[in-house]
Amino acid sequence: MNTSQILCANVHGTQWENIAPTVRHEAKRSLLNYFAVGFAGSHDPTIEKLVKTYTAFSANQSASMIGRTERTDVLNAAALNAMSANVFDYDDTHLRTVIHPTAPIAAAILAYAEKNRVSGQDFLQALILGMEVECRIGNAISPYHYGRGWHITSTCGVLGAAIASGWLLRLSPMQLNWALGSAANQACGIVETLGTMAKSLSVGNAARNGLLSALLAADNFDGPVAPLDGLRGFLNVMGDKPDLGGINDQFGKHWEMALNTYKPYPCGIVLNPVIEACLQLSARQDVVRDLARRIEYIEVTGQQLLRDRTDRPGVRTGRESQVSAQHAVPVSLLRGRAGLSEFSDEAVNDSAVRALGEKVRFSVDNSMSIDAAKVTLHFIGEPPETVFVKQARGSTGRPLTDQDIEEKLMTLSAQANTGCDQLRLIQSVWEIEKFDDVSVLMTIARQS
C-alpha cells in the first residue's frame, strides 16, 4: 500500500482503548481552548460580515454558531465557527508546524454532531485522529510549506477535518482515502492574507470542505489512489522533499497532537515570548519611567521566522497589529498588559504606541527556538536593559494549566457577553465521554 492508504488504514484501525488517557485529556484541553477563542471572535466585525453573507445562502437552520443566536446549515456552521475561533489569532498551536490544529476539525465535527447523534467518546476519538493526521502531514512538509507562503492551518486543516468527519461517518479505509483526495483538491490558504479579514476565510473553508469531502466519500465519490504521496499529490506539490516516513511512523503510539500549545495572548505565536519579555520590563517602573524620552531604540532578537512574520511597521488596524512586533512591543511596554483591547483599532491609533513602535529594531539569531526571544531597551546615555525568555508561557516547556484554559474561556465568554453557562460548558468538556449526544455542547455555547 502507498503512504495515503496506510494512513487511512491506521486511522480506521485505531481503537479507543489504545489512546492514552493523557492524549484524551489534551484533546479536551484543545476543545476548551477552541470554545474560548470561538467566543472571543463571535461578534468581531469580520465574523459579522461573514455571518451576514453566509446565512443569506443557508439551506436550513440545523446547526448553531458559538456565542450567537443565529442558526444555519451544517456546512456553513462549520465554516463560521472555525473562522470565529481563528479570527483573533488566539487559538492553539502545534509549534513544529505552526498549525492551529483544533479550529478546522472541532468546527466540522461539532456541526455534524448537531444533525447526527454522536457520543462523546466517538467525538473525542474523531477529534484526536483528525488533529493527529493534520499535524503529521504538516510535519512532512515543514518548514518549506509555510515558509513558501502557504497558510498551513488551512491546507492541512482540510485534510484533518476530512479524516475526523470520515471517522464519524464510519468510512472504510478506501472511502477515507477518497475523502483525503477531495480534501487535498481543496487545500488552499496563503500567508499574505495575515493581518486582514481574508485570513480566516481559508480556515473556514478547511472545516467546511473537509466535512463535505467525507460526506461525498460516504456516497462513494471517489478520488486518486495516492492523494498525499502521488507524483502530483498533496505532499509532492506542497512540500520540498517531503518526509513520507513521518506520516505513519509510530502511529497510535506517538501522538503529535499531544504536543499542542495554547496562547496567553491574542497574536501570532512567534510574538508570545516577545510580549512576555516586554511585560517583565514593564513591571519595573525604574525601567519604563519616562520611556519615550529616554529610549534610543528597542532591539528584538529571535528566529528569522519572527522577523519574517512580524516586521510590520505602520499597521492601520487591530487585525494587522496581531502580527506586528512594532505594535506588540510598545503596547505591552506602555500598558503592561496584552489582551484583546491591546490589539484593537483603538490601541493601534494610540500616538504614544505608534511613536515608540518606530524605535523597534530586529536582530536574527537562528540558534534560538521559536518560543524564545530577547528584548533589549537601549537608552540614551544609560546602560541597556535586557530580558531573555527561553521558553514562552504557553509553550510545551511552560504549558498553560487546565485552570488557565478554564479562566481563558470564562474571561473571553464574559467579554463577548454571550450569556453562556461557562461552568456547565467547562464541566461538560471535561466529562465529554459520559455524553450519549454531544450536541449539548453547542446548545450551551450558543448565545442565550
Element (H, E) at 128: helix 120-140
Q: What is the pLDDT of residue 447?
A: 83
Q: Whose CA is closest to 104, among 208, 251, 193?
A: 208
Instruction: Count CB-CB contacts under 10 A for residue 417.
Output: 12
Q: How far is CA 12 from CA 176, 177, 390, in A?
A: 8, 11, 40
Domains of the chain, residue spans? 3-262+399-445, 269-389
Mean of pLDDT values over 14-30: 97
Q: For the ranges 240-244, 259-263, 424-428, which has the lowest average pLDDT?
A: 240-244
CATH class of 269-389: alpha beta
- Residue in the structure block whose three cell numbers are 520590563: 281
CATH class of 3-262+399-445: mainly alpha
Q: What is the pLDDT of residue 195?
A: 85
Task: With cut-offs at 50, 70 and 90, classify the pLDDT of residue 109.
Answer: very high
High-pLDDT (> 70) share of the chain, %: 100
Average pLDDT over the chain reads 96
Q: Could you report the per-residue pLDDT of 32-89, keeping only the tens digit for each?
A: 999 999 999 999 999 999 999 999 999 999 999 999 999 999 999 999 999 999 999 8
Q: What is the pLDDT of residue 239?
A: 87
Dist CA 97 CA 413 (whole Å): 29
Range 216-220, long-range pairs (CB < 8 A, 24+ positions): 216/178, 216/179, 216/182, 217/162, 217/166, 217/169, 217/171, 217/175, 217/176, 217/178, 217/179, 217/182, 218/166, 218/169, 218/171, 218/175, 220/175, 220/178
pLDDT at 404 over 90: yes
- 3-class state of residue 447 by DSSP: coil
Mean of pLDDT values over 316-333: 95
- pTM score: 0.93
* DSSP label of 399: P
pLDDT at 158 over 90: yes
Q: What is the pLDDT of residue 152?
A: 97
The grid coordinates listed for 222 are 471517489
The grid coordinates listed for 74 are 451544517
Q: Could you report the per-residue pLDDT of 286-320, keeping only the tens digit for each?
A: 999 999 999 999 999 999 999 998 999 999 999 89
Dist CA 431 CA 445 (whole Å): 16
pLDDT at 264 over 80: yes
Q: What is the pLDDT of residue 244?
A: 94
Mean of pLDDT values over 266-275: 94
Q: Could you report the per-residue pLDDT of 169-210, keeping only the tens digit for each?
A: 999 999 999 999 999 999 999 999 988 999 999 999 999 999
- 3-class state of residue 134 by DSSP: helix
Q: Whose CA is closest to 436, among 27, 117, 24, 127?
A: 117
Mean of pLDDT values over 204-223: 98
Q: Could you report the per-residue pLDDT of 339-357, keeping only the tens digit for each?
A: 999 999 999 999 999 999 9
61-93 residues labelled b (16+ CB within 10 A) or e (exposed): eebbbbbbebbbbbbbbbbbbbbbbbbbbbbbb
CA 236 to chain centre: 24
Check for a shared fold between 3-262+399-445 and 269-389: no
